[in-house]
Amino acid sequence: MKVTVVGTGYVGLVTGAILADFGNQVFCLDTNEEKINQLKSGRVPFYEPGLEEIVKRNAEAQRLIFTTSYKESVIYSEVVFICVGTPPKRNGEADLSFVKSAVKSVAENLADYTVVVGKSTVPVGTGEKMTELIKKFKSKRAKFDWVSNPEFLREGSAVFDTLHPDRIVIGSESEEAKEVMLELHKPIDGLALLTDVKSAEMIKYGANAFLSTKISFANAMANICEKVGADVESVMDGIGYDRRIGRPFLYPGIGYGGSCFPKDVLALIDIAKRSGYNFKLLKAVDEINKERASLFVAKLEKALGGLGGKTVAILGLSFKPNTDDMREAPSLKVIKMLRERGAEVRAYDPVARENARKLMPEATHCVNIYEAVDGAEALCVLTEWNEFKEIDLEKIKKLLKNPIVVDGRNIYDPIRMKELGFSYFGIGRS
Ligand SMILES: NC(=O)c1ccc[n+]([C@@H]2O[C@H](COP(=O)([O-])OP(=O)(O)OC[C@H]3O[C@@H](n4cnc5c(N)ncnc54)[C@H](O)[C@@H]3O)[C@@H](O)[C@H]2O)c1
């Protein structure tokens, strides 16, 4: 099939590259010229394992074409995906200005029957509004159907997730559009859930809100475990091995971040409010998440007996491992608080260093773990990169001025840390 993917970010580029790999002719369109030029020269503008190889292979085969022009792409396409950002406004509401602008440009360039697919995460009712917008701007002869096809990929494993999704949600009022989507997704190994547009829109927010709830629940439990002397990791194992509950996402730590959970929780609270429902549960999820960074800093402050003039080594800056995405990364809050309290920060992240340097020029950005730790008075783990799990802890102990480790992701074993002579503070572990 001929496909246009509008927006070449984490979602759009992965979607476009994989559809091209299946043999489709794909135009990847973005209004950001710099990004398109980078892609044309074979460089992926962000870190996503396995993606660059697929992009290169398909660009060379001319199945993947990068463009800034709606005219040179949409006209030829049977399916157009909208994958632009939907950042939060100040009040938590999703900002749909990028979606509206992209949909208007698509509408103006529709030729024959086209399936227009919303992949961006959008509030319920957006499909209806976009359908009206397209009708307003399309030519008389152009025909289209709207599909809501929310995306569930995770940054860091986006290629795998796209090839092996738990489900593919296809929401549409048109049988023809559903058929086109099923045909396009045939090579993908995942259960197709056919539904209406509004339900599809709600599924995405519901999924992210529920996953965020699991994380905040684990964090609330961690707070209690610390007070009563229990180990939250054992508690989460004991709870999570119950198949009705499940262990994934019962992750106590410094809170969820990234470009999705924080904004989608706020957006669903806003959607609920507009529909006349006060979503108290989700408000608590957000509140619990917001206090994680300050609880973490308080723990470090107590361990060090104050932060003024102290040097702190930070391992991990991206909001999660295997990505260089710094959007809403908890490290931003933690480092800001450390600086406000007079601490010096020496940070290291395997891939987010350049992005982080721009956002946190006040921190010293080191090129490896040992450089960050050398001479620091405490070590903090903020992102659970694999390379931090097997570090030479004896060497770390020698390099640190004080053998203090505050582990925001519970990657180390408290017993081993004690045996090695560290003052070790995890999350929810006394
Ligand atoms: N990142 C994720 O892990 C993830 C997962 C699932 C769903 N989502 C959702 O998918 C959507 C996209 O997220 P993302 O992380 O890929 O965003 P992103 O910010 O990485 O990329 C968005 C891209 O859209 C481009 N763009 C903006 N306006 C445009 C326009 N009018 N025409 C063409 N291009 C335009 C931007 O230049 C940018 O390159 C969001 O709604 C997000 O909530 C993201």
Q: Which two tokens stand for residue 109?
A: 């360039």
Task: Tell me whether residue 430 is in a domain.
Answer: no
The pLDDT tens digits of the residues spanning 255-278 come to 999 999 999 999 999 999 999 999
Q: What is the pLDDT, as a whole number, of residue 291? A: 98
Task: Tell me whether residue 105 is in a domain.
Answer: yes
Q: Are residues 187 and 285 in the same domain?
A: no
Q: What is the pLDDT, as a whole number, of residue 130? A: 98
Q: Whose CA is nearest to atom 7 of ligand 1?
A: 151
Q: Are residues 89 and 145 in the same domain?
A: yes
28 catalytic, yes or no?
no
Q: Are residues 16 and 115 in the same domain?
A: yes
Task: Tell me whether residue 20 is in a domain.
Answer: yes
Ligand 1 atom closest to 102 (CA): 31
Widest Cα–Cα separation across the chain = 75
Ligand 1 atom closest to 101 (CA): 31
Which of these three, 162, 195, 228, is where a domain ends?
195
Indicate the SS3 state at residue 430.
coil
Q: Per-residue confidence at 430, pLDDT binned at 50, 70, 90?
A: confident
The DSSP element (H or E) to which 25 belongs, if any, is strand 25-29
Task: Tell me whether residue 185 is in a domain.
Answer: yes
Cα–Cα distances (Å) from 14 to 10, 293, 317, in that order, read 6, 31, 23
Interval between CA 367 and ligand 1 midpoint (Å): 30
> How crowded is residue 362: how many other Cβ atoms within 10 Å of its Cβ?
11
Indicate the SS3 state at residue 144.
strand
Task: Tell me whether residue 10 is in a domain.
Answer: yes
> How crowded is residue 308: how many other Cβ atoms within 10 Å of its Cβ?
9
- The CATH number assigned to the domain holding 246 equals 1.10.1040.10
Q: Are residues 84 and 161 in the same domain?
A: yes
Q: Which two tokens stand for residue 142?
A: 């152009």
Q: Are residues 33 and 79 in the same domain?
A: yes
Torsion of CA 47, 83, 87, 147, to 10 degrees: -140
The pLDDT tens digits of the residues spanning 147-204 come to 999 999 999 999 999 999 999 999 999 999 999 999 999 999 889 999 999 999 999 9
Of 351, 353, 348, whose CA–CA distance to 380 is shortest? 348
Domain count, the chain: 3
Of 393, 370, 320, 311, whose CA–CA distance to 346 is shortest? 311
Q: What is the pLDDT, as a whole number, of residue 150? A: 98
> Which of 28, 83, 225, 260 is an active site residue?
260
Give pTM, 2 decimals. Answer: 0.96
Q: Are residues 136 and 217 in the same domain?
A: no
Q: Are residues 108 and 174 in the same domain?
A: yes
Q: Which residues line ligand 1 (CB under 6 A)?
A: 6-12, 29-32, 35, 83-86, 98, 101-102, 120-121, 151, 153, 155, 259-260
Mean pLDDT over 382-394 rounds to 97
Per the CB < 8 A criterion, the answer to whether 195 and 263 are in contact is: no
Q: Are residues 43 and 111 in the same domain?
A: yes
Q: Whose CA is nearest to atom 27 of ligand 1?
A: 84
DSSP type of residue 367: S
CA 87: distance to chain centroid? 12
Of 347, 351, 307, 344, whose CA–CA distance to 326 is shortest? 351
The pLDDT tens digits of the residues spanning 330-378 come to 999 999 999 999 999 999 999 999 999 999 999 999 999 999 999 999 9
Task: Tell me whether residue 398 is in a domain.
Answer: yes
- Structural domain for 100, as ranges: 2-195
Mean pLDDT over 132-150 rounds to 98
Q: What is the pLDDT, as a whole number, of residue 369? A: 97
Which of these three, 158, 176, 195, is where a domain ends?
195
Q: Which two tokens stand for residue 352?
A: 């987010």
Torsion of CA 265, 271, 275, 279, to 10 degrees: 10
Q: Which two tokens stand for residue 277?
A: 């429902």
Q: What is the pLDDT, as a whole number, of residue 177? A: 98
Which of these three, 195, 220, 247, is where a domain ends?
195
Per the CB < 8 A criterion, the answer to whether 74 and 106 are in contact is: yes
- The CATH number assigned to the domain holding 64 equals 3.40.50.720
The DSSP element (H or E) to which 137 belongs, if any, is helix 126-137
Helices 97-108 and 126-137 cross at an angle (nearest 10°) of 40
Average pLDDT, the chain: 97
Measured distance CA(225)–CA(337) in Å, rounded:
25
Measured distance CA(303)–CA(423) in Å, rounded:
8
Mean pLDDT over 412-429 rounds to 97
Task: Tell me whether residue 176 is in a domain.
Answer: yes
Measured distance CA(150)–CA(371) in Å, rounded:
42
Q: Whose CA is nearest to atom 12 of ligand 1?
A: 85
Q: Are residues 135 and 173 in the same domain?
A: yes
DSSP string, 80-105: EEE-----B-TTS-B--HHHHHHHHH
Q: What is the pLDDT, as a whole number, of residue 190? A: 87
Long-range contacts of 177-184 (CB under 8 A, 24+ apart): 177/115, 177/145, 177/146, 177/147, 178/147, 180/1, 180/78, 180/79, 180/115, 181/79, 181/115, 181/117, 181/147, 181/149, 183/1, 184/1, 184/3, 184/19, 184/24, 184/79
Task: Tell me whether residue 167 is in a domain.
Answer: yes
Q: Are residues 11 and 112 in the same domain?
A: yes
Q: Are residues 6 and 101 in the same domain?
A: yes
Q: Are residues 185 and 219 in the same domain?
A: no
